[in-house]
Amino acid sequence: MPRIPRVVAVGYPHHVTQRGNNRAPVFFGDEDKDRYLQILAHYSDVCSMEIWAYCLMENHVHLLVVPRSDESLARGIGGTSLVYTQYINDKCRRSGRVWQNRFYSCVVDKNRYLWAVLRYIESNPVRAGIVKNAEEYRWSSAAFHLLGRRDPVITHPDWIEQSQYTVYRELIHRANRDEEDLIRKATSTGRPLGGAVFVGRLESRLQRRLKPRARGRPPQDT
């Protein structure tokens, strides 16, 4: 299914993925991941983009962000990518792209899929066989959500109660392949991750079609 023009819904969580150019590595040491998080925290602040979750892998990143203006997502992710590219090129004494041209994103129905997306993001190192438990991985928000460890990158949503984190501690160990496939599909196509009612509300709010068109020829007038 082809990717649609980017959908940005102010105040809604968005799952963002960005890969290295030609899927090449973007992080070459711990200091690179630390530097990326510093840049991300800066741009999330100046661009009014809340960070709810993140995970940095060798050749890509996953983020769960909430833009607070129409420009927040493009400016926040774009600024982070640009400054990090400059950092890597200076460090490695090279020039050229670090990231793919365009990052992927989808709006998330927080009432239905928030915890599924959190699990998908923070379980990445477990699926990759890097760690046994998500909270052991240093460059993700899992320790914040599972252990309550302080994380200066994260903006804590006020509406999430501590009891929900207790449930999440159990949920994160239960992989759901169907949900993972839905998250991947929504993110790669740019269509919202949510049910028909949620997508319909977004269409009304944004005044654009977001549901896929039915396949086949339109009916002929008779």
Is 102's pLDDT higher than 50?
yes
User: Closest by alpha carbon to 160, among 107, 109, 108, 110?
Assistant: 110
Domain residue extents for the chain: 14-195
- Averaged pLDDT, 27-42: 98
pLDDT at position 1, please?
66
Is 120's pLDDT higher than 90?
yes
d(CA 59, CA 76): 20
User: Closest by alpha carbon to 143, among 169, 174, 170, 171?
Assistant: 169
d(CA 62, CA 21): 15
pLDDT at position 171, please?
87
CATH superfamily of 14-195: Transposase IS200-like (3.30.70.1290)
Q: Kindly indicate the confidence band of residue 222, based on its pLDDT and cuts at 50, 70 and 90.
A: very low
Per-residue model confidence as pLDDT tens digits over 37-78 = 999 999 999 999 999 999 999 999 999 999 999 999 999 999
Report the mean per-residue pLDDT for the chain.
93
Per-residue model confidence as pLDDT tens digits over 123-155 = 999 999 999 999 999 999 999 999 989 999 999
